[in-house]
Amino acid sequence: MDTSTGLNDPVTTLTGVGSRIAARLAGLGIHTVQDLLFHLPRRYIDRTRLHAIGSLLPGQEVLVEGEIELAQVQYGKRRSLLCRISDGTGSLTLRFFHFSRMQQNKLVRGSYLQCWGQVRRVANKLEMIHPEYHSLSSEELGQVEKTLTPVYPATEGVSQAKFRKLTIQSLDIFESATGSLSELLPEEILTRLALPELAVALSFVHRPPPEAEVDKLLQGIHPSQQRLSFEELLAHHLSLRLLRGQFQQHRSPSLAKNENIIVAFLDKLPFQLTGAQQSVLEDIQQDLSRNSPMLRLIQGDVGSGKTVVAAIAALQALKAGYQVAYMAPTELLAEQHYINISNWLEPFQIPVRLLTGKLPRAEHDLVRQELNVSEAQFVVGTHALFQESVQFACLGLVIIDEQHRFGVHQRLSLIDKAGDLQPHQLIMTATPIPRTLAMTLFADLDISVIDELPPGRQEIKTIAVSSERRAEVIDRIAASCRQGRQVYWVCTLIEESDALQCQTATDTCEVLKETLPDLAIGLIHGRMKADEKAGVMAAFKAAELDVLVATTVIEVGVDVANASLMVIENSERLGLSQLHQLRGRVGRGTQQSDCVLIYKPPLSDFAQIRLETMRQSNDGFEIAQKDMELRGPGDLLGTRQTGLPALRIADLSRDAHMLPEIQNTAEILINNYPEHVQLLTKRWLADRVVFANV
């Protein structure tokens, strides 16, 4: 290793790293020497103490050493290399199923080994299978590690021994004068939060002393780990604050509130806005009237009325002479929004267009042409809006529904189509997120919450039923339909296989038609053509169908007020947030609604918790919190799709208690240590994340 190697140099500057190893490390996100420092151990083993072989018990993971008494290849069902060692207190057999000729030649009688592994009892003898080991000279006997031995998240082709050697090299560079990392957290913060300095924390987690609190290290709550988690979360938070600051430097159209048109719109609605809707609408109207970009996230549980609030915001932009783009995650939802918004805006002679991937080419080209010359003022679409060929004449407002289904890059690519003026952004989600978590993950956005359901809504009663009682569920459907109610039957699969899911729905539909011949039963799934899906949904909404068998394509946004019974097949396979979304398709009217969760026994512990949570709660925020605890925030929020980089050290479930302090610290750094802000984000995010060309 070159002594001039620095922390930002590629890993190939380390001894023992060629192109092959470098490629495998890159798969773990390790590109530089510094990346190795922030690749933390997932557990530790104690090689600071030798155990006498005579005292060993099955199940122990221990360090032993001894002299080889016997080494031979045993033949049978599986060829294996057996090596018996003894330390004078007892003997232990080492068994290797995979071994080389070189290894066999080195394991000879009379030589000494030090071994680490798990002890097993086989035929009244103690064994270790494939232990880690190394040869010793007689002078090296009794020598043990001075620190706990780290076990790193690894990849094929890079052994733990290799990881430890590379990390030791990285630590040596880090502890040298040229390789030191600057301390970017102010002393006042470290003192107040009782966090160690960066150098101390990194050295500790890679080389914990024998007396270290291993339980805390394994849980990720040791102060040294918490220090690193805190800094990583802070860097992510700051990166979004920087993004927000960059956007605020742009100019946006000032969209004045048109009181008369909004009153006229509200008068035509068959319902009144709730207090929560009115409050959120006021936030939006104030944002739109400014000439800096609105960046607002609207959280609202299923059925809370986010779409109508978005439509009123759109009306404010449209009457100011600007275009509006409304982006939905699925074609079915886009089609439904298109129908609802078209009906709402028809009295105001505002043209609304639909743009999805399955539109015929001629219609697709016509909509694009209209958008380019401002003939189409309001467009509802899916990912098709991202296409390079789609350009807007005067885009003033972008509305994004179910934001976690889209990436940050996708969202920003859409606003790049607006030209010189930056459009306002209204982003909505029906996946409730705990407030402190949302303020950290979406620090580039202002947040409003619609936390009130429309008057007259009743809580949905939920029960869990074994698949063995399917006949009872079908009888319940028949009884409900005789009372004039409509029913969803949702078919799910654990695999994301559209074909299999559709087949399951098709089979279920046929069974229900045979069993319930007096009922009108329809089918909808993702592989149907857009006009077919629209026709089925229109028939269900018009009460021409009693039962709608569907895949999870109806998870988001579908609104049929008379549907008051939801049956979810294979419910044990879904996460809580998805179950809650599906359940939210009923309970849209004033009548009592019910949800039946069919599961296939036996249930896993996690599945039992999920179904019990659904049975006991209708509160989306409570359900989201439990879902985050069970699945982790990455799955809950869809961070694999959001464009946000994955966290390397921090865990949002475990470290949520830090979030208020992270926000406070961010303010201190921005106001008092602005030079540290860019350095922190570069340290943790490097150049791997580019949010936008802003």
CA distance 211 to 204: 12
- Give the lowest-confidence range in 170-174, 328-332, 342-346: 328-332
Q: What is the pLDDT of residue 623?
A: 83
Distance (Å) of CA 71 to CA 52, 108, 109, 316, 323 = 21, 6, 7, 84, 80
pLDDT classification of 482: cutoffs 50, 70, 90? very high
pLDDT at 444 over 90: no
Residue 353 belongs to domain with CATH number: 3.40.50.300
Cis peptide before 58 (omega within 30 of 0): no
Give the pLDDT confidence score for residue 406 in this predicted structure.
Answer: 57
CATH number for the domain that contains residue 55? 2.40.50.140
Residue 690 lies in a domain: no
Task: Let me know whether 516 and 603 are in one domain.
Answer: yes
pLDDT for residue 638: 43
Q: Which of 92-106, 240-254, 488-502, 646-660 shows the highest mean pLDDT?
A: 92-106
Instruction: Examine the domain organization and report whether 303 and 423 are in the same domain.
Output: yes
Q: Which two tokens stand for residue 314?
A: 């759109």
Residues 90 and 166 in one domain: no
Rounded Cα–Cα distance for residues 132 and 121 (Å): 18
* Model pLDDT, residue 641: 37
Considering the domain boundaries, does residue 581 fall inside one? Answer: yes
> Which of 113, 128, 144 represents a domain boundary (last residue)?
144
Residue 592 near residue 564 (C-beta atoms within 8 A): yes
Q: Can you give the pLDDT at residue 497?
A: 47
For residues 329 and 413, state if they share a domain.
yes
Q: Which of 112-116, 171-175, 276-280, 631-635 is least confident?
A: 631-635
Residue 157 has pLDDT above 90, yes or no: no
Q: How far apart are CA 401 and CA 302, in angstroms?
A: 12
Residue 241 has pLDDT above 90, yes or no: no
> In 10 A of CB 111, how many CB atoms?
16
pLDDT value of position 30: 92
DSSP secondary structure code for residue 156 in this structure: T
For residues 170 and 35, the answer to whether their CB atoms sit within 8 Å is no
How far apart are the C-alpha atoms of 422 and 415, rounded to whole Å?
7
Instruction: Compute the average pLDDT of residues 488-501.
Output: 62
**Does 174 share its domain with 286?**
no
Digit-coded pLDDT (tens) for 548-601: 998 877 655 567 888 999 999 989 888 888 888 889 888 877 788 999 999 989
Task: Provide the pLDDT for residue 436.
Answer: 62
Domain-located, residue 652: no
Residue 328 structure tokens: 């939905």
- Is residue 436 domain-shared with residue 481, that is, in the same domain? no
Beta strands in 583-647 (DSSP E): 594-599
End-to-end CA, the chain:
40
- Could you list the residue range(s) of the whole structural domain that residue 28 is in? 11-44+152-212
Sheet order of strands, 594-599 included: 461-466, 594-599, 563-568, 486-490, 547-550, 521-524
Question: Which pLDDT value is given to residue 175?
Answer: 83
| CA distances from residue 589 to 300, 303, 407, 620 in whole angstroms, order as listed | 17, 10, 33, 18
pLDDT given for residue 249 in this prediction: 83
Domain boundary pick from 617, 650, 679:
617
Last residue of a domain, one of 566, 591, 617: 617
Evaluate whether residue 63 is within a structural domain.
yes
Instruction: Specify the long-range contacts of residues 677-680, CB closer than 8 Å, at least 24 apart.
Output: 677/238, 677/242, 678/242, 679/182, 679/184, 680/184, 680/231, 680/234, 680/235, 680/238
Q: How many CB atoms lie under 10 A from the CB of residue 632?
A: 15
- What whole-number distance in Å separates Cα of residue 229 and Cα of residue 49? 30
Let me know if residue 244 belongs to a domain.
Answer: no
Same domain assignment for residues 507 and 575: yes
Q: How confident is the model at residue 433 (pLDDT cuts 50, 70, 90)?
A: confident
| H or E stretch at 162 | helix 160-175
Q: Which has the higher per-residue pLDDT, 18 or 535?
A: 18
- pLDDT reported for residue 85: 96
Residue 423 falls within a domain, yes or no? yes
Give 243-269 pLDDT, tens digit per residue.
Answer: 888 878 889 999 998 889 999 999 988
Pairing of strands 352-355, 323-327: unpaired
Q: Token digits for 606? A: 């996690």
Reduce the DSSP state of residue 80 to 3 states and report it.
strand
The answer on 502 and 609 residing in a single domain is: yes
Overall number of domains in the chain: 4
- pLDDT of residue 527 exceeding 90, the answer is no
Question: Pick the residue with more confidence: 437 or 206?
Answer: 206
For residue 33, give the 3-state DSSP assignment: helix
Helix (H, G, I), strand (E, B) or coil at 488: strand
Across all residues in the chain, what is the average pLDDT? 86
- Per-residue pLDDT, 643: 43
Residue 680 within a domain: no
- Reading phi first (left if > 0) and then psi (alpha if -120 to 50, else beta), residue 381 is in beta
Rg (C-alpha) for the chain, rounded Å, is: 31
Question: Can you give the length of the chain in residues?
Answer: 694
Q: Which phi and psi (to 5°) does residue 450 adopt? A: -95, 100
Q: How far apart are CA 274 and CA 266, in angstroms?
A: 12
Cβ-contact 424, 397 below 8 angstroms: yes
The pTM for the full model equals: 0.72
More confident residue, 178 or 248: 248
Report the percentage of the chain scoring pLDDT > 70. Answer: 89
Same domain, 434 and 542: no
Confidence of residue 1 (pLDDT cuts 50, 70, 90): very low
Instruction: Kindly state the greatest CA–CA separation across the chain.
Output: 97
Residue at 690: amino acid letter:
V
pLDDT higher than threshold 70 for residue 404: no
Block residue for tokens 């010189």: 420
Nearest-angstrom CA–CA distance, 217 and 42: 9
Pair 56, 89: CB distance under 8 Å: no
Residue 550 resides in a domain:
yes
Q: Which residue has the tokens 């849209």?
A: 588
Sign, CA torsion 343/311/380/306:
negative
Same domain, yes or no: 89 and 125: yes
By three-state DSSP, how is residue 522 classified? Answer: strand
Average pLDDT estimate for 648-655? 84
The C-alpha atoms of residue 379 and residue 38 are separated, in whole angstroms, by 45
Q: Are residues 290 and 376 in the same domain?
A: yes
**377 and 484 fall within a common domain:** no
